[in-house]
Amino acid sequence: MVPIPLQRDTVQRPGTTHAGHAHGPRPASRTSLPGIPLAPSAARRFVRAALAEWTGIGVPAAVGFSDRLADDAVTVTNELVTNAVVHAGTTVDLVLRLEEEGGDEPSAALVLEVTDHHPARPVSGDEPGTGPGPAGTRPGELPDPAEYGRGLQVVATLADSWGITYRTGLKTVWARLPVDDWSLPPAPPDGEALRRGLRAAEILAPAPRRTERDDAVWDSRGAPAFLAEASDLLAGQLDEDLVAAIAGQLLVPRLADWCAIWLEAEGGGPAAEPRLARVWHSDEADTEPLRAALEREPLRLPAGVGSGPVPVPVPWSAHPAEEGRADTPAPPPHPGGRDGAALAFRITAGGRALGTVLVGREGVAQVPEAVASLIEDFVRRLGLAVGAARAYTRQATISRILQRGLLPSKVAEIPGVTSALVYEPSDDGVVGGDFYDIFPCPGDRWCFVLGDVQGSGPEAAVVTGLARPWLRLLSREGFGVGEVLDRLNRLLLDDAMEAAEAAALMVAAAGGQQLHDGTQSRFLSLLYGEVVPLPDGGVRCTVASAGHPLPLLLRPDGSVRPAAEPQVLLGVVEDVAYESQVFDLAPGDTLLCVTDGVTERRSGALMFDDGDGLARVLAGCAGLPAEATAERIRRAVHEFAEQPPDDDVALLVLHAD
């Protein structure tokens, strides 16, 4: 395997330019993406749409675009954006620029720049000899690209050159792809396919050179269609910064030449400084000068201003490039007196001020009344979207706090047994009902638990918070496995359940998930067992399953069998006598315990465990240690369907040494 590639040496030659050194206007498109797993796919769509549009509008160098160049650009973009999301986790800025170079041998290059906001975190594979690598790699030793740095291997292979630029608060990784296929212009792309491809690009980053604005389109049909589209796009976002980004790109250039969006700090009070969340200009070269002008002083509207438009002075020059020249007058020392018109709108939701939108048009005395009214309607929808995003953020924060409190800070190590845990709560902003535990008990016993409360949210969290300490208490009192489940079942059916419901209502009243009317029963599926080390090696297991996916026992020869019998859920029937099964876990044996987030993982009409699918995957893990077995099961669950799991995924592996 070849070592991780370092940055290629970039040699400056006469007549050539490289990323960050080219001068003069050039076609460029940019977008900002949230640091989430969906960012790479959005970036791929954006690059393809931008290349298609450049070809469609006849950019000279676009004649040389080939399918291979498009594929290479998409691949490089995917690797760099994925690297930024995984290693920085911040908002990712993507710039796609086309550089045309003159001279005796004219050429062109496609430059991709991916910027994140964590410059202290190095690029995966950057300067590998100067810091610690992944587990098992000594300082100064190049890690195996199969496990680490493969993305930069791909980038180095496809790009003519690439590099890293560090600025205050930012880190940019750029790659330069030569446009070397000077074939005849391709046939015009299919109009409908291009329209569909560009819709995502328009949402993320409108391309320059749009058609001239026509205010006459905002009639009885145009305005409702625009508002309907805006509502659909804004309502589906759960991050307020992404809401602001989409809003700015819907306003510009359809309704304004430029816009800025400030968001108030939640619960910050009158003295809190609003945050400039988004700045956008129809001419991308003017976006940063506009931002610099607006950052000098946040826009503040008087307290009594409602949701209607407020005329304000234009806070910047429409032609910033001319400022400071000897043949032009110096700009006024304070905002106002510039060419154009600007309107400010307060963002509100539920009677609370959430921020401010500032829109401007250049070269006009005022914004048409019909357009101002349409922007006012749009800002109302923006307020609802920001409010919903903040409510989701509050719910997700409550869920994370609850989840941390419901799970053990650490699990016990069982002598003679290696354990591995995988716990992945579903990413829906609601606390899940899955829980686990491994703890020691008197009498040289170790107990393990894997449970799942029906439903999710505060109600399920409260039941989980009661069930886990009850289990520890009953186990340490010396009750057998079946007796522990008997007593836990009665506790779930008695007055303690009312306490759980009351506590859940208190959590919801404090800002958590809204509960349904009426009392709802909470059932608990549970796999509970105890382990006792044997003198000659291995351990003796006693397990019982109450409405839970059955544990599977894997022998070294690859054979798999259930290790327990199915029994009724806890909290359903009062008079139940739970039974347990006893077996020995000999050295080399593996016990797998999972929740229904594994067995019921869906791909269309199929489930992961259909036809004993879980047992088949486990059979292929014979001879593997606990960690490798857990990782193989986890990977198989994720690869079973294209969409990420929509339920909590929890599994516990016990391997006898």
Share of the chain above pLDDT 70, in %: 69
Beta strands in 248-370 (DSSP E): 258-263, 275-281, 310-312, 341-349, 352-361
pLDDT at 305: 75
Contacts of 293 (CB under 8 A, 6+ apart): 315, 316, 317, 320
pLDDT category at 102 given cuts 50, 70, 90 is: low
Q: What's the rounded mean pLDDT across residues 388-407? A: 72
DSSP-derived secondary structure letter, 448: E
With 90 as the cut, is the pLDDT of residue 598 above it? Answer: yes
With 90 as the cut, is the pLDDT of residue 462 above it? Answer: no
pLDDT category at 651 given cuts 50, 70, 90 is: very high
pLDDT at 323: 46
Q: What CA–CA distances, in Å, run from 266 to 9, 274, 275?
A: 47, 10, 11
How does pLDDT run across 330-354, given as a tens digit for each residue?
Answer: 443 333 335 789 999 999 888 888 8
How does pLDDT run across 262-306, given as a tens digit for each residue?
Answer: 998 876 665 678 889 989 888 878 888 888 888 887 787 877 777
With 80 as the cut, is the pLDDT of residue 181 above it? Answer: no
pLDDT at 172: 85
With 70 as the cut, is the pLDDT of residue 519 above it? Answer: no
Average pLDDT, the chain: 75
pLDDT at 627: 93
Rg (C-alpha) for the chain, rounded Å, is: 30
Q: Indicate the range of 243-252, 355-364, 480-489, 492-501 predicted with least confidence.
A: 492-501
pLDDT at 402: 63
pLDDT category at 556 given cuts 50, 70, 90 is: very high
CB atoms within 10 A of CB 234: 23
- Of 178, 180, 177, 183, which is closest to residue 63 (Cα–Cα)? 183
pLDDT at 207: 39
- CA-to-CA distance for 103 and 182, rounded, in angstroms? 16
- CA-to-CA distance for 368 and 327, rounded, in angstroms? 34
With 70 as the cut, is the pLDDT of residue 626 above it? Answer: yes
How does pLDDT run across 464-505, given as a tens digit for each residue?
Answer: 777 888 888 999 888 999 999 999 988 888 754 565 555 555
pLDDT at 27: 72
pLDDT at 481: 92
Q: What are φ and ψ of residue 341, in 5° steps?
A: -135, 150
- The answer to whether residues 101 and 107 touch, using CB atoms and an 8 Å cutoff, is yes
CB atoms within 10 A of CB 349: 18
The more confidently predicted of residues 6 and 70 is 70
With 80 as the cut, is the pLDDT of residue 516 above it? Answer: no
pLDDT at 206: 39
With 60 as the cut, is the pLDDT of residue 321 above it? Answer: no
